[in-house]
Structure 1
Amino acid sequence: MSRSDARGSRGSSRGWQVATWAVALALGVFGLAMFGGGVYLMTLGGSWYYGLAGAGSVLSAVLLMMQRRSALYLFAVIWSLTVVWALWEVGLDWWGLVPRLVAMTVILLLILTLSPALRRPA
């Protein structure tokens, strides 16, 4: 491998790292907002979903910053439980499902896109 090839692969790795950090930061902010609103909703006697999903999203963001593959697995569980919760809450009403699933699905797709850069457990 020539020196320019080595530098190119390092630059590519750096690009993945920056993208991973950007998604992790956005997910962390999103998760904190969801967690805060969810805790408030819980105090009013409302759904626990937002607080729990927000806490899981923050944990997933931390794992993503550490470039751990477990961030993907955790968020996939959160997304799956979100689908179950959304179906339980509104049934098969398309317009009721859209606001409950779109953001979480976009985040899952972003994390899946980053999955080649995430480290597998030892």
Structure 2
Amino acid sequence: MTPGTTTWQSAVIWYSALAPSLRKGTLVAMLAAFLSPVLAQQNEEAAVLLRTIQALESLRYEIIQERSRFNATPEPTDEAELQTWRAIAQDMSLTLAEIELAIGSYQKRYRKVAGSAASPPASDMPPLLPE
């Protein structure tokens, strides 16, 4: 394989060099043999991306629930405790923003791997919470 070429491109280059001596039936068999691992790898990568998106969605849900409980508590009156309380609130907000960014990034990668222009249907996603 030459640098900068994919397995698929290498297979096409290799076949074009041997094309005069091979029949069309052999071409179909070779293409099927080379294409199957590539498609399996894409399916596996798409599944990993879906699981990652699901895990991030679950984490986001848990942090939102914790933030709701945290916001329901009264603010501390002591200045040192109040600073800590505000730092925790800010940390939760920043963490949620990072998770949102990561989810968007993984969804974009999933669309690229899956070859679709839309997010996966809800039926393809694993449940957010364990049953």
TM-score (norm 2): 0.41
TM-score (norm 1): 0.44
Structure number with bigger Rg: 2
Between Structure 1 and Structure 2, which shows a larger proportion of helix residues?
1
